[in-house]
């Protein structure tokens, strides 16, 4: 990586750390991303699933609060 790229990455990381300084904001950030990670993983395994379908299943099972 170039010095410019490293600097850019460091700035982005610093901003992210500022936004997620406490555990609740960090948990919220992960909750917002987890469904996409699951869908991407399932697509990679050639078993694609729609994110909206995952939301429906999780609501039905009451697994993830706030969905």
Cut 0.75: pTM above it: no
Range of the domain at 17: 3-61
Distance CA 33, CA 22 (A): 17
- Whose tokens are 């992960």? That residue is 30
Q: For residue 66, tell me if it sits in a domain.
A: no
In a domain, 10, yes or no: yes
| Cβ-contact 3, 10 below 8 angstroms | no
pLDDT of residue 27: 87
Instruction: Encode pLDDT of 6-54 as tens digits.
Output: 999 999 999 989 988 899 988 888 888 888 999 999 999 999 988 888 8
pLDDT at 1 over 70: yes
Mean pLDDT of all residues in 47-65? 80
pLDDT at 55 over 80: yes
The tally of domains found in the chain comes to 1
Distance (Å, rounded) from C-alpha 34 to C-alpha 41? 10
67 lies in a domain?
no
């Amino acid at each position: 990586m170039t010095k410019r790229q490293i600097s850019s990455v460091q700035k982005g990381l610093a901003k992210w750390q500022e936004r997620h300084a406490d555990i609740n904001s960090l948990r919220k950030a992960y909750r917002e991303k987890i469904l996409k990670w699951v869908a991407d993983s399932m697509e990679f395994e050639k078993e694609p699933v729609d994110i909206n379908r995952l939301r429906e299943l999780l609501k039905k099972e009451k697994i993830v609060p706030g969905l």
